Amino acid sequence: MEREALIARIEAGMSAGTVPCQDCLVTWFGEGRGHRCVVCEEPITSPDTEVECDLPGGGTVYFHNACFDLWHAALPA
């Protein structure tokens, strides 16, 4: 997916509440194991890097590494 499309999905998802608006409490980077990315909704499979994110409000979401970087840059300061 193109960078601009991903950023649009992140912004729309934050408004809709489907994408977190708060930074992770804990993150782990590892090999993709097929979890669905919260940003692009595609499965994260090896050799892609999976970012596992525990949210401050509870719950765990997963990102592609590239989706995570865009999401992290879009978080409110």
| Distance separating alpha carbons of residues 30 and 35, to the nearest angstrom | 12
Task: Please say whether the beta carbons of 24 and 52 come within 8 A.
Answer: no
Shortest spacing between CB 66 and Zn ion, in angstroms: 7
Least separation in angstroms between residue 71's CB and Zn ion is 9
Single residue of 37, 51, 53, 61 touching Zn ion by CB under 5 A: 37
- DSSP 8-state class, residue 73: H
CB nearer Zn ion, residue 43 or residue 54: 43
Q: Give the position of tokens 């765990």.
A: 60
Rule CB under 5 A: choose which of 10, 24, 39, 51 binds Zn ion.
39
| Touching Zn ion, residues 46-65 (CB under 5 A) | 64
Q: Between vectors from CA 74 to CA 3 and to CA 44, what angle results, nearest 5°?
A: 55
Beta bridge partners of 50: 30, 64
Judged by CB under 5 A, does residue 10 bind Zn ion?
no
Residue numbers at the binding site for Zn ion (CB under 5 A): 37, 39-40, 64, 67
